[in-house]
Structure 1
Amino acid sequence: MNPASFDLHEFVRRVLAEDMGSGGDVTSAATIEADARFVAAMNCREPITVAGLDIAAAFFRELDREMMIELCVRDGDRAEAGTVLMRLEGNARAMLTAERSALNTLQHLSGIATLTRRYVDAIAGTGAVLLDTRKTIPGLRLLDKYAARMGGAENHRMRLDDGVLIKDNHVAVNGGVGQAVRRAKAANTGLQVQVEVDQLEQIIPALEAGADRLLLDNMEPQTLRQAVAIVGGRVPLEASGGVNLDTIRGIAESGVDYISVGRITQSAPAVDIGLDFALKPYPS
């Protein structure tokens, strides 16, 4: 996880500060000697797709620079229940203080990657590509979208300045799809202009106005097939709305190029990962 705009140190510092407060881990300080050592294994307790291992490791290293950490799998890997993801040996107080921040992050990101992989698997062989959306937890967009990539999706817009996407409210303000597209093209942003259409009758006006890509919103597979026929390959088509694991295969088989799913980042449940005392010494 190393996008240029992501400050890992700042993220780790902020999350640890949130968890430690002003007094730190009073339980560990009260019950564990300052120089006590701890050997642990982090493992998944259900089948998952992994995302965020390096970030989880950074929490432990922030509090113990000398902590020995072995990453046993890689981000993007599928791991069966019981798989050891990470082995650690280091200062006991530091490890237990960082534990929850590391696990929260890894469970959340691996949850996104795991759900995303289920959607990707559901459309395998159709040629359609799964996209994420901007429906992410505020402040965690870079991480959430990274996790979606680890699950096999492609990123759509990261921010509002990444692309022109004319939605229904933009169309309403402009009085029609064609007018909205023409204004966007005239703005000469240098970006592709994508426009959302929810009726077949909007397709031709959008194309005639110069749309570079269409977002077919809340259309049934039969209607999507009609839209694909009307467009005839002139611009890429993205389907969105009403997409879940039960419907995505039929949507993909309609012939659209992309399918965007907000729930992979908005509604993915955290997966079950734990950190447990390990009898086996850390490998030297």
Structure 2
Amino acid sequence: MLNHKLPKKTELDIPDCVSRALSEDIGAGDISAMLVPECEIAEAEISANETAVLCGKAWVTEVFTQLDENVQLIWHVEEGQSFDPGAIIASITGNARSLVSAERTALNFLQTLSATATSARRYSLAASKCRLKILDTRKTIPGLRLAQKYAVTVGGCYNHRIGLYDAFLIKENHISVCGGITQAVSKARLIDPSKTIQVEVETVKEFEEAVFSGADAVLLDNFSLSDLQRVNSLVTDDIKIEISGNLTAEDIEKYSRFPISHLSSGSLTKHINAIDLSMRIVSVKNNKNNQSRLFNNLKET
């Protein structure tokens, strides 16, 4: 069985993340759901219309649970498992109104996070025969940073820094304002010597300065293969080299022969197409106890 444990920070973020998503969709109330009898119990199925990697079970479960605490979900596909068109991914039984109100929000999470995991799986498989680790970036959908970062790991790739707070990444604008790479690295050491300092460079000359300034890691942005050949002799074991810049899964093999430890790509989380999934009500049954209670209440009024 596949086991993808949610990081604690991500787990704690899910209720608020889901609550915001439901609020923006339902607002003051789902008027279309009022067409459905209040006490109806229904069973629905989420099914696949294309091949993908499943991710987002915790978010989907939270969506349905926030609208109906008695809802029952049965998952037929595990987190991180591939599925094909026609596969029944999950069965949900609960209040029919809640099911139809939850449908779009639940599918949005599942389609987006499964798309992210599927993208990461493609990169992961391409890198399986080399020592390159594939990293994500901060190019995530607003509000879904932790969710997409988790989906990347489900797909088999790795997380770069989560945000602007957990590591230094000195980029072109920082360098311009500080007056140079050496000055920027020195200031970063003074601000927080415990944090990793990475410098993004665009030329071999900048790479040399980053190495001699004492940076912990260097990110080579849009380096050509010939430029990579030139920096080979400057690479030491105590500095991590990462390459980035519109790289696709197909680019991985040609970079694997260089002394690069990591390859990062914004495409993992940015260039994704939502997975085609559907949710359909497959059976309806009356909740007689609730109906009886409702009928009695109506007689009393």
- For residue 36 of structure 1, what is the aligned residue in structure 2? 40
Cα distance in 1 for residues equivalent to 2:226 and 2:266: 22
Cα distance in 2 for residues equivalent to 1:225 and 1:78: 38
Q: Is the partner of 1:278 in helix, strand or coil?
A: strand
Give runs of aligned pairs for residues 1-284 of structure 1, distance below 5 A. 1-4=6-9, 6-22=12-28, 24-30=29-35, 32-278=36-282
- TM-score, scaled relative to structure 1: 0.91
Is the radius of gyration larger for structure 1 or structure 2?
A: 2
1:280–1:13: structure 2 CA closer, same or farther, 3 Å change rule?
closer
- Once the two structures are TM-superposed, the CA of residue 197 in structure 1 deviates from its matched residue by 1.5
- Once the two structures are TM-superposed, the CA of residue 279 in structure 1 deviates from its matched residue by 6.0
Q: Is the partner of 1:161 in helix, strand or coil?
A: coil
Q: Do the aligned partners of 2:42 and 2:284 also contact (CA within 8 Å) in 1?
A: no
Q: Which sits farther off after the overlay, 82-91 or 221-230?
A: 221-230
Cα distance in 1 for residues equivalent to 2:191 and 2:58: 42
Could you list the structure 1 runs, at least 4 aligned residues long, displaced by more than 6 angstroms after superposition: none
Cα distance in 1 for residues equivalent to 2:267 and 2:61: 27
- TM-score, scaled relative to structure 2: 0.86
Deviations 1:48-94 (CA, angstroms, capped at 9, x unpaired): 11111121121111112111111222222222222222111121111
1:188–1:18: structure 2 CA closer, same or farther, 3 Å change rule?
closer
Q: Do the aligned partners of 2:246 and 2:267 also contact (CA within 8 Å) in 1?
A: no
Cα distance in 1 for residues equivalent to 2:257 and 2:276: 33
Percent identity, aligned pairs only, is: 34
Q: Which sits farther off after the overlay, 43-52 or 183-192?
A: 183-192
- Once the two structures are TM-superposed, the CA of residue 13 in structure 1 deviates from its matched residue by 2.0
Q: What code does the residue aligned with 2:227 have?
A: T
Q: Which sits farther off after the overlay, 250-259 or 158-167?
A: 250-259
Question: What number of residue pairs does the alignment pair up?
Answer: 279
Q: Do the aligned partners of 1:203 and 1:231 also contact (CA within 8 Å) in 2?
A: no
Deviations 1:217-254 (CA, angstroms, capped at 9, x unpaired): 11023322432332133311100113123323322343
RMSD of equivalent CA atoms: 2.0
Q: Which sits farther off after the overlay, 221-230 or 62-71?
A: 221-230
Gaps of 5+ in 1: none
- Once the two structures are TM-superposed, the CA of residue 2 in structure 1 deviates from its matched residue by 4.9
Deviations 1:78-122 (CA, angstroms, capped at 9, x unpaired): 222222221111211111110111001110111111111111212
1:154–1:34: structure 2 CA closer, same or farther, 3 Å change rule?
same
Q: Is the partner of 1:69 in helix, strand or coil?
A: strand
Q: Do the aligned partners of 1:15 and 1:101 also contact (CA within 8 Å) in 2?
A: yes
Q: Do the aligned partners of 1:131 and 1:260 also contact (CA within 8 Å) in 2?
A: yes
Q: Which sits farther off after the overlay, 157-166 or 69-78?
A: 69-78
Q: Is the partner of 1:154 in helix, strand or coil?
A: coil
1:184–1:28: structure 2 CA closer, same or farther, 3 Å change rule?
closer
- Once the two structures are TM-superposed, the CA of residue 46 in structure 1 deviates from its matched residue by 0.8
Q: Is the partner of 1:7 in helix, strand or coil?
A: helix
- Once the two structures are TM-superposed, the CA of residue 205 in structure 1 deviates from its matched residue by 2.4
Cα distance in 2 for residues equivalent to 1:73 and 1:213: 39
- Once the two structures are TM-superposed, the CA of residue 214 in structure 1 deviates from its matched residue by 0.7
Gaps of 5+ in 2: 1-5, 286-301
